[in-house]
A and B are shown apart, each in its own frame.
Chain A
Amino acid sequence: MFILKLLLKNAFRHKLRTTLTMVGLVVAICAFGLLRTIVDAWYAGVEGSSSTRLVTRSAISLTFPLPLNYGQRIKSVEGVSGISWSNWFGGIYVTERNFFPQFAVDPPSYLALYPEYRLKDAERLAFMRDRQGVIVGRKLADKFGWKIGDQIPLRGTIYPGTWNFNLRGIWDGAEAKTDENQLLLHWSYLNETVRKLYPKRADSVGVYIVGINEPQNAALISQRVDDLFKNSLAETLTETESAFQLSFVSMSEAILVAINAVSLIIVVIIMAVMANTMTMTARERLAEYATLKALGFAPSFVVKLLFGESLLIALIGGGLGLLLTLPLAAGFASAVGTLFPSFHVSGLTMGLQVVAALVVGLVAAAWPAWKMSRIDIVQGLRHVA
């Protein structure tokens, strides 16, 4: 108790200096957490992917569609348990700033492959019955304040014109990582319209989603699917859903590496600032440490005092930084809208923030503690004079 009191009093002896150091820690730990969360959010699509789903796309590029009749052939491949497809719709809701992913899907087969989209039976039925109907994730509905029955107008970019959809259902994700920022519409409705306006673009799909029961055979099944269309006009590339999502992430890998590096650099900078604080603190108290040693306190006591004080400042600053990360992340998530399918501070990130604060505290005190434990008592006592 006495030691804890001494640590607290020492830590706040220079209130301005300690406060400024803590502010630095709050900013650094908060920035570290936010940057890590951004990187996590980037990978959220990968984490939300299922091992029981493959994605088949054009071997040339994702922008090249595949024929609709591939579906039946893929379904006949050994190991395939289900098949569905989707097209990127790319509509704009009011302004470009309101970006969110929209996919034209075959509802029965698609929802069968995505059981993590929890939809009420009545809403599912209403969606199935209304060819102009759409369903959206809960976060998206909350963001725009949509309710069942609302009409959602989208201005087409890939498929020109104004498209009016009826909101028939709102799904909740089975897990936190489940994407709740998408809109799903009827592929048949889209295809019907496209056939009238742009017949050459009809009966094509963007990607096939292939359901499998044996994830361990994913590579083999992928090979079987791609072998089916070898040397055809539209060769395919089949991969696991996570690999498909990773291919998007890898496009921006350099940015992610930079974000990760910056998050670590911030911690290193605050470590240097904190080490400077602790070194100044120790130098000012040279005579006090010499006095303690003269009174009979072992050098390890001085070491404990310095490490204790440093850890106390680091943990208070780090703790405040961690607490501040949560509302800031929420604010950031609402500012960037539906750019990320999921944006929440993970337990791992919070754990890393605590570890970062601890490491800062320990490293900052290491040099002054070592130095002060070795001070010559006589020289230290002269310091006061």
Chain B
Amino acid sequence: MSGAGEPALIRIRDLSKSYQRGGQDIPVLLDIQLDVQAGDFVALMGPSGSGKSTLLNLIAGIDQPTSGRIEIGGVDIATLSEGQLADWRARNVGFIFQFYNLLPVLNAFENVELPLLLTGLSARQRREHAQAALAMVKLEDRMDHYPNELSGGQQQRVAIARALVSDPTLIVADEPTGDLDRHTGEEVLGLLDELNRKLGKTIVMVTHDPKAAARARRLVHLEKGVLVDEDPAAEASKTR
């Protein structure tokens, strides 16, 4: 985890997001200020409709804010064009979704290899990277299996391998245990914890589950689009 004196990996300032519904502005996030240090493991919590997934989407660069700045690694991603944002995501963000979002026609190995098509790696290098990532999630013996031949926990582990195979700066996880039973969820959380502690990966995770949130080093609570509370233990790492 980075020290408090170092610049934050994620710097969010005056961030607001609203949606247009029936000619009306519906605010989802209001004036968010948030810093996340490199190597941190942040859990975003809050009731449904609090805006935590929207905040995660904005951090991941798959949604655009209505106003404010989101600087990640010194880049204000709110100013990037769609094409630049796609490139930026390919290089900097690993995604873990609640429902895994694996391509059903590709086997575990091919699903993990997929993000590497956006890099300049040769086929041999891609194969080595994908094999290493699958080994990291202990699925090297399931490389040839298709998603429908894997359990939910195994599919999520493949998704984790896919998220880390291109060595991204940031991993975003949206309810990664939401579709799993408690035991399998624990395994997945243990894996995320390992990625954070051993590989120093910065993780931002949305969860409803307090037990899952407890695995994070820092908890951020949202309510009605406003940051309302933060784990006191993490206050020290917060830089405004």
Inter-chain contacts of B83 with A (CB < 8 A): 298
Whole-angstrom distance between the Cβ of B33 and the nearest chain A Cβ: 23
Q: Write the B99-124 contact mask toward A (1 if CB under 8 angstroms, else 0).
A: 10101111000100111011000010
Whole-angstrom distance between the Cβ of A303 and the nearest chain B Cβ: 13
How many residue pairs at the A-B interface have CB separations less than 8 Å?
65
Contact B90 A296 (CB under 8 A): yes
Q: Tell whether A144 is near chain B: CB-to-CB under 8 Å.
A: no
Contact partner of A287 among B91, B101, B118, CB < 8 A?
B101
Inter-chain contacts of A294 with B (CB < 8 A): 60, 62, 89, 95
Query: Given A288-B103, A385-B98, does the pair A299, B82 have CB atoms closer than 8 Å?
Result: yes
Complex CA gap A258/B141 in Å reads 63
Q: Tell whether B63 is near chain A: CB-to-CB under 8 Å.
A: yes
Q: Which of A1-51 contact B (CB under 8 A)?
A: 1-3, 5-6, 9-10, 13
Contact A296 B86 (CB under 8 A): yes
Contact B106 A384 (CB under 8 A): no
Complex CA gap A291/B86 in Å reads 12
Q: Tell whether A377 is near chain B: CB-to-CB under 8 Å.
A: yes
Contact B97 A377 (CB under 8 A): no
Contact B89 A2 (CB under 8 A): no
Contact B95 A2 (CB under 8 A): no
Q: Tell whether A344 is near chain B: CB-to-CB under 8 Å.
A: no
Complex CA gap A384/B86 in Å reads 21
Q: Write the B32-74 contact mask toward A (1 if CB under 8 angstroms, else 0).
A: 0000000000000000000000000100101100000000000
Whole-angstrom distance between the Cβ of B77 and the nearest chain A Cβ: 13
Contact partner of B105 among A10, A378, A384, CB < 8 A?
A10
Q: Tell whether B76 is near chain A: CB-to-CB under 8 Å.
A: no
Q: Tell whether B14 is near chain A: CB-to-CB under 8 Å.
A: no
Contact partner of B115 among A9, A295, A298, A378, CB < 8 A?
A295
Inter-chain contacts of A119 with B (CB < 8 A): none
Q: Tell whether A57 is near chain B: CB-to-CB under 8 Å.
A: no
Inter-chain contacts of B118 with A (CB < 8 A): 295-297
Contact B90 A291 (CB under 8 A): no
Q: Tell whether A293 is near chain B: CB-to-CB under 8 Å.
A: yes
Contact A384 B101 (CB under 8 A): yes
Q: Tell whether B209 is near chain A: CB-to-CB under 8 Å.
A: no
Interface of B toward A, CB cutoff 8 Å: 57, 60, 62-63, 82-83, 86-91, 93, 95, 97-99, 101, 103-106, 110, 113-115, 117-118, 123, 162
Q: List 11 A-B contacts (CB under 8 A).
A: A13-B105, A291-B97, A294-B62, A296-B86, A296-B91, A296-B93, A297-B86, A297-B90, A298-B83, A381-B97, A384-B97
